[in-house]
Amino acid sequence: MHPGPAGPGPAELLVAGAALLVTVGYLAAAGRLRRRGDVWPRVRDVSFAAGGVGTAWATLGEAWGGPGVGPCSGPWGGPFTQHVVRHLVVGMAAPLLFVAARPLTLALRALAPGRVRRRLVSLAHSGAVGLLLFPPVAAVLDVGGLWLLYRTDLFAAAAHRPLLHGAVQAHMVAAGLLFTFAVCGLDPVRRRWGLAVRGATLLAAGAAHAVLARTLYSRPPPGTGFGAADLHQGAQWMYYGGDLVEVGLAVLMGTAWYTGTGRTGARRRRRGPANEVVDRAGRGTRRPSQDSGGRRHIMNTTARTSPDGPTRQKRLVIYLNDHLAGATAGVELARRTTREHHGSAYGESLESLRKEISQDRQALVRLLADLDVPVRRYKTYGAWLGEKAARMKPNGRLLRRSGLALLIEIEALRLGAQGKASLWRGLLAAAAQDSRLDADRLEELLRRAVRQIKTLDSLHARAATELLFPAMRPEPESASAAETNTPS
């Protein structure tokens, strides 16, 4: 018998349509990010698109051997084998491709600060999502659902009931995504469990999946009449195909762990030994990123429940709003400097700096939204007015700009870039303790700030040489000769 109703039903159409729609949305968000000047690897676009196309193909595609084929008459096997292969695509391979593309990180970076973004952050850090993303719970929902499907009468019942078949399809997709998301731990959520918990869960789930494939090799799902050859081929696909996807999961998980460990080591080297803390038992040193239990959400839970939690949050609000005020003044200053020197030798470099400084301010606004920090608009308005008032400083001329203004403005921009680099560096050090801080994004912003400092240093040296110490022009040869021939 065929494992489902003939032809795609409403559930299959809904799953395929949702997969293609989400893929289009992902590619649009990635394009928006790149147009804004941010970096987003194109390999992630390819990964997500492959997952969307694979999901649509597996849910809508015609049976490989054609409808009404015999138990093992198609070139790829009978109906049970085809069902198993599609299960591998929809429930295992496609979720791996989706999660590897880090869709939640992209959404948080692409969405503008506002209600939608705040709700997404609240949902990602909610207790219910945290429970579902506990790796053993996600594994029970995924692999336990497969055992329930293949070792009870549910499989046979779903073949004749379209609504039940659609519910099984939806559960297979959702459970596969949930398990892959929980095990990989790539996107910022309430809590990222340690490698030991996720690795042990992956091994246990892989073993349970392999045992299920072995049982199907000898005994078909209850209430079905698949041929022995079809059953054996489908069980082999489930066994070896599941192993292949699980190896991919392990590679992705190990790569993320290795990359994160390298970033943590680099941050420790930058901070030096001053941040080491001796534990209570005096057994050596540890750092905040090595705290037991992987408590990466310390700032959004402990900071609010500890006695000095409100004080810490108040400090964060003041600190980030002060930097936002400085960023506002920096954007205005960069805009004015670029406008005044448009078409000059400095114009192209100043225009590039202006765009990056504006993007950095937008990134800071999004960071305030991630950390639930309100924007103190009186500070930003004050910084805007302060930059306008600074234009009236004495510069040796009454009605027009002095050539010295360029040198002073470059120095002011460099001070702003240096303060911005200190901000990103400090938040990067705290990223190991707070999952709301995206370490990859902060490293990218820090590299950009350092690059801006180097560019401004080069512009400053050039302007100082041209404005303060211009090259001495040699006297004309005719004038020198006339002075020589003048009688004494």
In total, the chain counts a number of residues equal to 488
Torsion of CA 301, 306, 307, 311, to 10 degrees: -40
Instruction: Give tens-digit pLDDT for 37-49.
Output: 778 889 999 999 9
Q: Which pTM was predicted?
A: 0.61
Q: What is the DSSP string of 244-312?
A: HHHHHHHHHHHHHHHHHHHHHHHHHHHH-GGG-EE-TT---EE-GGG-TT--TBHHHHHHHHSTTHHHH
Q: Residue 12: its pLDDT value, please?
A: 78
Phi-psi region of 68 (alpha: psi -120 to 50; beta: other; left: phi over 0): left
Q: Residue 470: its pLDDT value, please?
A: 73
Here the tokens at position 124 are 């990602």
Query: How far is it, in rounded angstroms, from Cα 362 to Cα 211?
Result: 51
Instruction: Give tens-digit pLDDT for 137-190.
Output: 999 999 999 999 999 999 888 878 888 887 888 888 899 999 999 999 888 887
Q: Residue 119: its pLDDT value, please?
A: 86
Local structure of residue 373 (DSSP, 8 states):
P
Residue type, 335: R
Q: Residue 304: its pLDDT value, please?
A: 44
Q: What is the pLDDT along the chain (488 residues), one digit of tens a residue?
A: 444 445 667 777 888 899 999 999 999 999 988 887 778 889 999 999 999 999 998 888 644 333 333 334 444 557 888 889 988 999 999 999 999 999 998 998 888 777 888 888 888 888 888 899 999 999 999 999 999 999 999 988 887 888 888 788 888 889 999 999 999 988 888 777 888 999 999 999 999 999 999 999 989 999 888 888 888 999 999 999 999 999 999 998 888 888 766 555 555 555 554 444 333 333 334 343 333 333 334 344 444 444 455 677 788 889 999 999 999 989 998 998 888 888 888 888 889 999 999 999 988 988 888 888 888 888 888 888 888 777 666 555 545 566 677 888 888 899 999 999 999 988 888 887 777 788 888 888 999 999 999 999 988 888 888 878 776 544 445 444 444 454 44
Q: Residue 176: its pLDDT value, please?
A: 93
